[in-house]
Amino acid sequence: MAVSRDNLVAWIEALQQVYNENKEYLTKLDAAIGDADHGINMNRGFTAVKTELESNPPDNIASVLKSVAMTLIKKVGGASGPLYGTFFLRASTAVTGKEELDAAAVVSMFETGFSGIIQRGKAEVGDKTMVDAWTPALAAMNEALDSDASLKEVLEKGAAAAEQGMKDTIPLQAKKGRASYLGERSKGHQDPGATSTCLMLQKAAELWS
Amino acid sequence: MKKIINNPDDVINESLAGVAAAHADLVRVEYDPAIIVRVDAPVQGKVGIVSGGGSGHEPMHGGFVGMGMLDAACPGDVFTSPTPDQMEAATKAVDGGAGVLHIVKNYTGDVMNFEMAAELAQAEGTNVEAVVIDDDVAVQDSLYTAGRRGVGATVLAEKICGAAAERGDDLKTVADLCRKVNANSRSMGMALTSCTVPAAGEPTFQIGEDEMEIGIGIHGEPGRERMKVKSAKEIVGMMSEAIVSDLPFNSGDSVIAMVNGMGGTPLIELYLVYNELNEFLKEKGITIARNLVGNYITSLEMAGCSITLLKADDELLELWDAPVLTPALRWGE
Ligand SMILES: Nc1ncnc2c1ncn2[C@@H]1O[C@H](COP(=O)(O)OP(=O)(O)OP(=O)(O)O)[C@@H](O)[C@H]1O
Ligand SMILES: [Mg+2]
């Protein structure tokens, strides 16, 4: 399949439910190595996103992403607000004028969005952040694209790699964000931001198939 | 969770409404986006000073809005950085033509959101400088962390920069002073109990009846070490030694000292801590030139305290003594 404007909106609206259902889980993860607000932040952000998309429905793919970005920037705060906000803002620039996204366009949308996360947060692989979920996910998606996989396969590979990357954050010592204040004590816990990223990609893989 | 609230989701707005009603002579409150603004802002020709951060640290920052201190504060959700649209609105509201200083505590979220806000305000033609406060010695400042956290020095920087702006210093001078205050300040905190974020409903961390956390942050983030509760003398000794040896503060130095309550510790204990601090510093040949004892940068209902020392010279003391009129800090004239 190719992703239409409506498919994109369906994904975003589903994310509202995902973050609502995982609010306590993400907040618990953040309580262990941060300040116990990541689930609350994501739930607040995507609830506002859904309301905004319903009351002012944008008519194309790029403007949907831009609307999501502006709402997240305004409503989330914390580190994840500017990071995910910048992600969606950049992602929108990769799909300007497109009515449908094939597998390559979806990956390019994620990749461009991810470059915004790097620019804003300056984290590197291994710093125990959402970057540790995005990086293997994008590598796996690009690899699948190269072997002419379908969108479904590309996203499944990406989601699986994100999940592995998320789990691989457990032994890491955090070097960015609030968790870095803990030093050695940040080891042994899964990063909340890597987890919210993984949930995002899993939902895309589930819906866009 | 046991709190005097109506609904966890309404805590910030209802508390802001209380501030607006109690201090209408000093500040006005806007809700969408949420900002607390000095009642006579923008003051023409004066550098505007904006700060902000998560709520739950009251009176910081909203209680410091007024003559001689902040022009505006941006309250985020509890313990969560405010958002760029709040900061941009605050910046616009206080821009009297001389530019605006952002005083930012060093937390990833605060720094990134203020960065986005500065980009937005600059795109609209307002001159913005940002100074990041990072005075907490509990956290090692190294390549491997997000750097030291911003805590008590923020209060001192807001007072001193506010006085400088009030007397007509330009943006660069006020920003340089802010950097000077930050460079010469060090802090450390400790906690006896946890705190409960209203929206979370449960204590942020568990701590035994007989335990304390040394080096605690202002959001209940763990600090350096968990240990059995010790005497006030030992606690103050540990914290002060870490502070004094870090800058370092030397014999002959004169300081502004703040003994700050985390929200759940009574003044009787804070004064006891001040007494220990005074003894400790005397022993080291360090003189307390000015002091502040009370709840200024809190962590909801956490029991505990923090100590901040600022190495002071005549310029800083003069600015410290200048009149200030805000909901939470007022003296002079
Ligand atoms: N510099 C960074 N680059 C990429 N991701 C980061 C960075 N810093 C933090 N993160 C991610 O953000 C997540 C935490 O997000 P959260 O919503 O809890 O914000 P926060 O750090 O608590 O912000 P605040 O301190 O203002 O409350 C971390 O788990 C991590 O994945
Ligand atoms: Mg957090």
Indicate whether B53 pLDDT > 80: yes
Instruction: Read off the pTM.
Output: 0.87
- How are strands ordered across the β-sheet holding B211-214? B225-228, B211-214, B185-191, B304-311, B254-261, B287-294
Instruction: For chain B, give every residue range classified as CATH 3.30.1180.20.
Output: 187-313
In chain A, the percentage of residues whose pLDDT exceeds 90 is 90
Residues of chain B neighbouring A89 (CB-CB closer than 8 A): none
The alpha-carbon gap from B34 to the nearest alpha carbon of chain A, in Å, equals 11
In tens, the pLDDT along B147-156 reads 899 999 999 9
Contact A74 B33 (CB under 8 A): yes
Closest Cα in chain B to A32: B205
Assign residue A179 the CATH number of its domain.
1.25.40.340
Instruction: For chain B, give every residue range classified as CATH 3.40.50.10440.
Output: 8-184
Number of structural domains chain A divides into: 1
Task: Write the ipTM.
Answer: 0.77
Residue A36 is predicted with a pLDDT of 86
A:65-84 residues touching chain B, CB 8 A cutoff: 73-83
Mean pLDDT of A111-136: 97
The alpha-carbon gap from A180 to the nearest alpha carbon of chain B, in Å, equals 5
Indicate whether B142 pLDDT > 70: no
Domain interval for residue A154: 3-207
State the DSSP code for B142: S
Indicate whether B92 pLDDT > 90: yes
Residues of chain B neighbouring A120 (CB-CB closer than 8 A): 112, 115
Contact B83 A81 (CB under 8 A): yes
Residues of chain A neighbouring B115 (CB-CB closer than 8 A): 82, 120
* Placement of tokens 């009515």 in the chain: A99
Residue type, B185: S
The alpha-carbon gap from B324 to the nearest alpha carbon of chain A, in Å, equals 30
Could you tell me if B14 and B34 are in contact, meaning their C-beta atoms sit under 8 angstroms apart?
no
Indicate whether B143 pLDDT > 70: no
Going from the C-alpha of B261 to that of each of A3, B3, B185, B231, the distances in angstroms are 55, 19, 18, 17
B8-184: which CATH architecture? 3-Layer(aba) Sandwich (3.40)
Nearest to B109 among A73, A79, A182 (CB): A79
Helices A151-168/A192-207 angle, 10° precision = 160
What average pLDDT does the structure give for chain B? 95
Residue B221 is predicted with a pLDDT of 80
Indicate whether B333 pLDDT > 80: no
| Catalytic residue IDs of B | 57, 219
Mean pLDDT of B266-282: 98
Nearest ligand (C-alpha, residue A190): 1
In tens, the pLDDT along A30-67 reads 999 988 889 999 999 999 999 999 999 999 999 999 99
Contact A37 B80 (CB under 8 A): yes
Superfamily for the B187-313 domain: Dihydroxyacetone kinase; domain 2 (3.30.1180.20)
Q: What is the dihedral of CA A208, A199, A114, B113, to 10 degrees?
A: 130
